[in-house]
Amino acid sequence: MGGRWRTQHGAISSPNPWRRGAEFLGARYAILGGAMTWVSDSCLVAAISNAGGFGILAGGALEANELDREIALTYDLTDQPFGVNVITFSPYFEAQLDTCLDRHVSHVIIGGGIPSAEHIARAKRAGAKVMAFAASQAMARRAIRNGAEALIAEGREAGGHVGPLSTSVLVQDLLPVMAQVPVFIAGGIGYGEMIAHFMRLGAAGCQLGTRFVCAQESRVHPRTKKAYLGSSGRDAVLSVQVDPEFRVAPVRAIANKASQAFLELQLETIRRYRAGELSKVEAQREIEEFWAGRLRGAVLGGDVEFGSLMAGQSVEFLRREESVCDIIQGLVARAEAAVSGELQLRDPG
């Protein structure tokens, strides 16, 4: 591939710009498949790892025995490294972490806030590498102090739960820490050119989620895949909070009938609270429970009207159903062409 890559420390010769991230991951390419709840199962994860990327199982919604089964199935489908994403606020978190360590998972990705030094140390003692999420430089530095060995920086363009900063601003905020640990960039990435761009700035690689939703190996329901393929980046919007007194976690998803129903529920629930029909706790709970089960309904049941169609703005770049191998090879080819200067501007579709 050739070419010279520039970091914040100056120009460096590197025939393999994937090297830093790939060595940390144990993969051929520093392309991570984002852990998407109900989507990133053993089949999709193994396909990503087998294609040279790094698949990540979404463990957050699974009980420990279910996660154990998914890890075992993934081992059956690939001999390549993969990671498992667990969430600190899950009621199953402690048992999930134990399951990962008992199964000798090579990389544990801990979301839901900054993982504690105790949890990170426990995973590292068991031989796992630990990655954490960072939505700001302050979060990144704290995670590193707690022992995190790599970071995933996910910008606001991403699907699902998102942070406050756009990907481009977040990358600039994290430039000072990129020399300390590998930082993988996520949020709104659809083409290999952007992967190359972020690695030129010092990132170790990139994570993509939405790009794999319509892969042939994805278990997403055909109706839901059709909805993704028919959507644009403008359709992937953040959940709306109608009253600052009642918090709504920012979640990016494709707008549908459920989006309108959620607005109406908030207005009616707040009206009932103001009328003294509900306590504040009850009203907040009704708002928070609206989306329960709706993501699974969309992913597995094909409910595209009232399910939750979580997607990043990179849904703009979904053109057709492809194999994971073709997706990764396309990303790699265009990233390497961008590096070598051989890229010709054309429609990547």
Reading across the β-sheet that carries 160-161, which strands appear in turn? 160-161, 251-254, 236-238
The bridge status of strand 54-58 relative to strand 83-87 is parallel
Q: Answer whether 0.85 is exceeded by the pTM.
A: yes
Residue 10 confidence (pLDDT): 35
Residue 225 contacts by C-beta under 8 Å, 6 or more apart in sequence? 213, 214, 218, 321
Written as six digits, the tokens of 187 are: 């949020």
Going from N- to C-terminal start, the domains of the chain cover 4-208+319-340, 222-314
Highest CATH level, class, for 4-208+319-340: alpha beta
Mean pLDDT of 201-229: 98
Residue 347 contacts by C-beta under 8 Å, 6 or more apart in sequence? none
Residue 17 confidence (pLDDT): 77
> 15 falls in which pLDDT band (50, 70, 90)?
low
Task: Give 68-112 pLDDT, tens digit per residue.
Answer: 999 999 999 999 999 999 999 999 999 999 999 999 999 999 999
Task: Give 108-139 pLDDT, tens digit per residue.
Answer: 999 998 999 999 999 999 999 999 999 999 99
Whether pLDDT at 184 is above 60: yes
> 34 falls in which pLDDT band (50, 70, 90)?
very high
